[in-house]
Structure 1
Amino acid sequence: MRTEIKTVKPSKPVHPVVAYLVLIAFASALFVVGVIIGKAFFWENYDTTPIADRIIEVAQQKVAKDPKNPKNYVDLGWGYFQKKDYNNALAQYKKALDLDKKYYPAYLNLGILYIDTGKYDLAVNTLKQAVALQPKSSNAHLNLGIAYNKLEKYQEALKELKAAYELSPGSTRIIYEIGVAYEKMGKIEDAKYQYKSALEFDPKFEDAKKALERLNKK
């Protein structure tokens, strides 16, 4: 008995334009679904508040709950500082010091603010108090050294920057600022060495790159 083999007629090929339209429709549907899901579960719940504003908001809440804690005012001042609202930042740091005359973070942040606003004499006086309160703070010594560099008091700057380096030998900023002091004193080879050392720790340190390029052109 012979088995009859039935042949299946091939289906008609899909026209490229039709396939393209189907693909577009499918992709559009996926996009709409994605938008709906994103809006429902992610986008409206995502906090887009700028970081400085968020710091201020949180610090204000802490101040309201605990108005006698100097840390809360320093945190609030830091938020204002990030927005370059120096007057409000200054007011908060001073409030912290009104509560605690020996509160080191307030002196440190206030000194940095004075450097940022070009009040270098005030920065030196303030950061000296920070160093006195925390003699093992590399950050206090560093910023005092920066303030001295700005005042062209390079010997004093080197003393503070070397003290900072002993406490934090891997800090590229400290190494760079030592280079600045040497450069201003005319000790070009010493300055180059410092800038090169900073770049060995951080090859992307732009200030050190520019300084070294400047000296190599001389």
Structure 2
Amino acid sequence: MKTYIFLFLFCSYFSAYSQDFNDIDLKEIPQEIENINAAILKEPNGDNYYLRGYYYYQIKNYPKAIADYDKAISLNPNNYKFYYSKGNTNIKLKEYKQAIDCYTKCIALNNNLQKVYFNRAYSKTMINDAKGAIDDYSKSISINPKYLQAYQNRGIIKQKLNLHKEAIQDFDKVIEINPKFVEAYQNRAISKALVNINAKSDFDQVVGLSPEDPEAYYNRAIYFINFKIKGDYCSDLKKAVSLHFDPSIELLAKYCKK
């Protein structure tokens, strides 16, 4: 009898990069920009250009934001915040190498900011520098040992590198910090399964935390089928189908004919 191996659906998206925002009504920004324009005429200093760049960033005019951050840097090249904000804007433009350069300059001026290492790690991930990203997430964690998103992202990278035991340790930490973080249970379950550690309780936890997520039922069914674990995979597949998850239809027809 032919054996079929079906793939798990990984929760492989990364937590977004860290940003700093002040409460501001977007409707007020055009007037704020006019005010800053007047201020720049009187005092064309780095702080004023930086503030205008921040407002342009808020209204998603990223090229103008970059231009103002560049001007601010030219006037005051020792302000780490200018490089950090420019790096964030580069990420919005998907210019990840430029973002990395900005964060590196920021770190040279202030090497104790968890969010800068986190954002540089995120940018390195986007250019497939897995080792560099892991190193930066580790540095971010060393600054803030409770940085949940850094553990989660580092675990996902390790999982993709088939470093499942190390990934499990990161997902353990995420769950310790937030016991209801469903994606960590899902990814930990998959890594456990792939190194032959019993993962049923984690798959059960995912279903319990996300009862309307069809992928939770689908992945548990895959676990039962692939690893010949005793469990009601037919009920899981039926539930996934009822939640309109089409990949479950073929498996349901193949394994649950009665």
* 1:112 corresponds to 2:85: no
Alignment of 1:8-27 (within 5 A): none
TM-score, length-normalised on structure 2? 0.56
Alpha-carbon distance in structure 1 between the residues aligned to 2:89 and 2:137 = 19
Relative contact order: is structure 1 or structure 2 higher (C-alpha 8 Å, sep ≥ 6)? 2
CA shift digits 1:109-136 (9 cap, x unpaired) = 1112222222111111121111111111
Q: Secondary structure at the match of 1:169?
A: coil
Alpha-carbon distance in structure 2 between the residues aligned to 1:56 and 1:134 = 32
Partner of 1:124: 100
Alpha-carbon distance in structure 2 between the residues aligned to 1:148 and 1:68 = 34
Partner of 1:45: none
Count residues with an aligned counterpart: 170
Partner of 1:84: 60
| Alignment check: 8 A CA contact 2:39 2:48 kept | no
Partner of 2:253: none
| Alignment check: 8 A CA contact 2:62 2:92 kept | no
| Structure 2 counterpart of 1:185, from 139, 149, 161 | 161
Structure 1 letter corresponding to 2:120: L
TM-score, length-normalised on structure 1? 0.65
* 1:54 corresponds to 2:39: no
Q: Secondary structure at the match of 1:136?
A: coil
| Alignment check: 8 A CA contact 1:73 1:92 kept | yes
| Alignment check: 8 A CA contact 2:118 2:136 kept | yes
| Alignment check: 8 A CA contact 1:56 1:80 kept | no
Partner of 1:4: none
Gaps of 5+ in 2: 1-23, 194-218, 224-258
Query: What is the Cα deviation at residue 209 of structure 1?
Result: 6.3
Change (3 A) 1:54 1:186: farther
Alpha-carbon distance in structure 1 between the residues aligned to 2:145 and 2:172 = 15
Alpha-carbon distance in structure 2 between the residues aligned to 1:197 and 1:162 = 13
* 1:141 corresponds to 2:117: yes
CA shift digits 1:63-85 (9 cap, x unpaired) = 53353332333233223223322
| Alignment check: 8 A CA contact 1:55 1:75 kept | no
**Matched-pair identity in %:** 21
Change (3 A) 1:163 1:72: same
Partner of 1:162: 138
Structure 1 letter corresponding to 2:39: K
Query: What is the Cα deviation at residue 158 of structure 1?
Result: 1.7
Gaps of 5+ in 1: 1-49
The structure whose Rg is larger is 1
Q: Cα RMSD between the aligned structures?
A: 2.9
Query: Which has the larger displacement, 97-106 or 202-211?
Result: 202-211
Query: Which has the larger displacement, 102-111 or 172-181?
Result: 172-181
Change (3 A) 1:149 1:61: same
